[in-house]
Amino acid sequence: MTTKTSELLAVAAPRTVAVVRGISDDQLDLPTPCPEYTVRGLLNHLFDVVVNFQELARRGEVDWSGKTDHVTEGWRDRFAAETVRLIEAWSDPAALAGVSPGMGLPQETVGDMALADLTVHGWDLARATGQPGVQAEPAVLAALHGFMDRMGETGQRMGAFGEPVPIAPDAAELDRLLGRTGRDPAWTP
């Protein structure tokens, strides 16, 4: 069985997994478009996202305070396996029903948060490590623009997104999304 959320995650995940696989060990200390993270720090955050959002799909409690270094032996393969588990967790229609007990948001919005992190942080990591630009499918971009319409201001107030970066109205949809999350699509290390 699948859901709209799991289908979108299944489209986005392989692109981010490819970026993660393309990161060399000598790039782990590089800066990223997320000023508070190096490549290693952002990889660890993204690991936490894919693991914790599996639990959130099951309406479980998660602890974001742990600072585990996931970038150890076999980390690229483990990341790929965890993204598969993330997609599976959101494939159950029950995952999208009701309100998240831990976050107080509609479960559908929580699923969109996972999609946003996977997509945007995939771009962050590609940009930081000089990999070809990550593209996003139109359906993923449409879902994420809808998510930003609903949650962008709240996310800004909570520190999840930076101040929007002005982007030309005729810019590519991915660039417009990045600008909405506080990223400059022209960012370079």
Which domains, and CATH codes, for the chain? Answer: 4-139 (1.20.120.450)
| Mean pLDDT of the region 8-32 | 97
The pLDDT value given to residue 5: 97
Residue 161 DSSP one-character state: S
Beta bridge partners of 106: 99
Contact 137, 11 (CB under 8 A): yes
- Which residue shows structure tokens 């692109």? 15
The pLDDT value given to residue 69: 92
Q: Which phi-psi region, left, alpha or beta, contains residue 80 (left: φ > 0; alpha: ψ -120 to 50)? A: alpha
Over residues 101-152, the pLDDT tens digits come to: 888 899 999 999 999 999 999 999 999 999 987 789 999 999 999 999 999 9
Over residues 145-178, the pLDDT tens digits come to: 999 999 999 999 988 899 999 999 899 999 999 9
Predicted TM-score (pTM) of this structure? 0.95
